[in-house]
């Protein structure tokens, strides 16, 4: 079969591979909708995970099942399924501890386009199908469904880790598709003001639709000064980091109130150490928490997030600015993700058979 792969750091292209094999608990799918991710860009062009040779890329997909293992109970050939980017081993000790995304070791629940071939192939393999897949709800556009692989669960996890609650003021740094879902998640969890940092006009417009109350440009002076001026020197209750670099942690500590939480969902693709400003961190006694996390996955969570869309409470299709048809468009879509033209939020590809 054919797949669109990372050939080595800095180079992508089509490769030929053997079709994946189905274990007793697993499923083999063919893609019906795919989306590239900024994480694919960190992986290929920054070499953020280290060298990978001819690894098929991609971890955002809606698929159709073409084969199931003999121990799979709840899915059958022909089912259309939501495929989470993270597909843990649910029996691992890390999973029993509540951190299935790290099943088997740090970040090891992230298998697609990391430890094994991703979803940008004519076929792809899903481990533990009963626990990891969810049915595509009747009536949901598969293109919208791809946003349930990663963008919705990651952005919402930003709001979860920040423990956003009613009436709080939240700063969301970065309003690409991930940050936009953090804005939407914070709004659903009851945030009062949501200050959102970004400059692309499409992203700003959509951020407002998802609940951002104030927009900050990191190009017009330090973020912390703008936050302090907008909040009359008080700062914010919570910070979600979904863009920018290592320096955003410093910004977060400078604007957060005592007892606040800084929640990072950004993939820190380069740099060494993160600096924490000593004084603003309450000289070590400010009860300011800093937490970062890979998205949680699993069938139940994916079904719940899908319920929000079906109930009309969340519309991630606003993220889909560029639509393509056919797998052969994968290189164009990934290139868009690399270049990030000003009108881009997220490209998506649908595939007909
Ligand atoms: P985008 O590149 O689309 O968005 C990044 C955002 O950050 C933009 O709004 C951009 O503003 C803003 N930004 C850029 N530079 C700065 C700066 N110096 N200070 C403040 N803001 C800045 O990325 P995505 O939304 O696609 O992804 C965000 C991150 O999340 C990526 O690192 C991605 O790899 C990661 N990720 C993490 C996952 C997880 O499980 N934790 C899963 C999926 C992705 P502008 O409007 O000017 O472009
Ligand atoms: Zn992704």
CA distance 65 to 28: 6
Ligand 1 atom nearest residue 41's Cα: 34
CA distance 98 to 19: 33
CA 36 to ligand 2 centroid distance, Å: 7
> Which protein residue has the closest C-alpha to ligand 1 atom 23?
176
Which of these, 281, 294, 270, lies nearest to 150 by C-alpha position? 294
Residues of the chain with CATH 3.90.180.10: 2-150+295-350
CA 118 to ligand 2 centroid distance, Å: 11
> Which protein residue has the closest C-alpha to ligand 1 atom 19?
244
Using a 6 Å cutoff on CB, does residue 39 contact ligand 1? yes
pLDDT at 269: 81
Mutate to test the pocket of ligand 1, among 147, 176, 196 (most ligand atoms within 8 A of CB): 176
pLDDT at 320: 98
How many other β-carbons are positioned within 10 Å of the β-carbon of residue 284?
9
CA 295 to ligand 2 centroid distance, Å: 10
pTM over 0.95: yes
pLDDT digits (tens, 9 = 90+) for 255-274: 999 999 999 999 988 889 99
CA 137 to ligand 1 centroid distance, Å: 29
Class level of CATH domain 153-292: alpha beta
**Across residues 11-17, what is the average pLDDT?**
97
Taking all residues of the chain, what is their mean pLDDT, rounded to a whole number? 97
pLDDT at 48: 85
pLDDT tier at 286, thresholds 50, 70, 90: very high
pLDDT at 255: 98
Class level of CATH domain 2-150+295-350: alpha beta
pLDDT tier at 26, thresholds 50, 70, 90: very high
Report CA torsion sign: 15, 21, 26, 28.
positive
Using a 6 Å cutoff on CB, does residue 251 contact ligand 1? no
Residues of the chain with CATH 3.40.50.720: 153-292
pLDDT digits (tens, 9 = 90+) for 207-216: 999 999 999 9
Report helix angle 151-161 to 177-188, nearest 10: 50
Using a 6 Å cutoff on CB, does residue 151 contact ligand 1? no
Using a 6 Å cutoff on CB, does residue 175 contact ligand 1? yes
pLDDT at 270: 83
10-32 burial: b if 16+ Cβ within 10 Å, else e: eebebbebeebebbebbbbbbbb
pLDDT digits (tens, 9 = 90+) for 116-146: 999 999 999 999 999 999 999 999 999 999 9
- Kind of pairing, strands 61-68 and 27-34? antiparallel
pLDDT digits (tens, 9 = 90+) for 316-328: 999 999 999 999 9
- Which long-range contacts does 18-24 make (Cβ < 8 Å, 24+ apart)? 19/122, 19/123, 20/117, 20/121, 20/123, 20/124, 20/125, 21/125, 22/67, 22/68, 22/69, 22/125, 23/69, 23/127, 24/69, 24/70, 24/71, 24/72
pLDDT digits (tens, 9 = 90+) for 235-251: 999 999 999 999 999 99
């Amino acid at each position: 079969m054919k797949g669109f792969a990372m050939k080595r750091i800095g180079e992508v292209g089509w490769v030929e591979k053997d079709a994946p094999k189905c274990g007793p608990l697993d499923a083999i799918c063919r893609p019906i909708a795919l989306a590239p991710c900024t994480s694919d860009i960190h992986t290929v062009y920054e070499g953020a995970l280290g060298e990978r040779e001819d690894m098929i890329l991609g971890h955002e997909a809606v698929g159709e099942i073409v084969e199931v293992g003999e121990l799979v109970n709840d899915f059958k050939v022909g089912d259309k399924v939501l495929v989470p980017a993270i597909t843990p081993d649910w029996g691992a000790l890390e999973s029993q501890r509540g951190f299935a995304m790290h099943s088997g070791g740090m970040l090891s629940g992230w298998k697609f386009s990391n430890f094994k071939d991703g979803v940008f192939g004519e076929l792809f393999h899903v481990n533990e199908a009963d626990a990891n897949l969810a049915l595509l709800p009747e009536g949901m556009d598969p293109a919208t469904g791809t946003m349930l692989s990663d963008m919705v669960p990651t952005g919402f996890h930003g709001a979860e880790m920040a423990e956003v609650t009613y009436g709080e003021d939240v700063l969301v740094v970065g309003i690409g598709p991930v940050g936009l879902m953090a804005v939407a998640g914070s709004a659903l969890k009851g945030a009062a003001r949501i200050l959102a940092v970004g400059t692309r006009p499409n992203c700003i417009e959509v951020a407002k639709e998802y609940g951002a109350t104030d927009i900050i440009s990191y190009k017009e002076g330090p973020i912390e000064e703008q936050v302090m001026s907008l909040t009359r020197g008080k700062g914010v209750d919570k910070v979600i980091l979904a863009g920018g670099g290592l320096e955003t942690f410093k910004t977060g500590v400078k604007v957060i109130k005592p007892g606040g939480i800084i929640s990072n969902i950004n993939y820190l693709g380069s740099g060494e150490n993160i600096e924490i400003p000593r004084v603003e961190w309450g000289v070590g006694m400010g009860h300011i928490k800093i937490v970062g996390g890979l998205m949680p996955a699993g069938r139940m969570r994916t079904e719940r997030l899908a319920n929000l869309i079906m109930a009309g409470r969340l519309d991630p299709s606003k993220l889909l600015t560029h639509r393509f048809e056919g797998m052969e468009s994968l290189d164009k879509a990934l290139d868009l993700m690399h270049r990030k033209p000003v009108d881009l939020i997220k490209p998506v590809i649908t595939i007909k058979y």
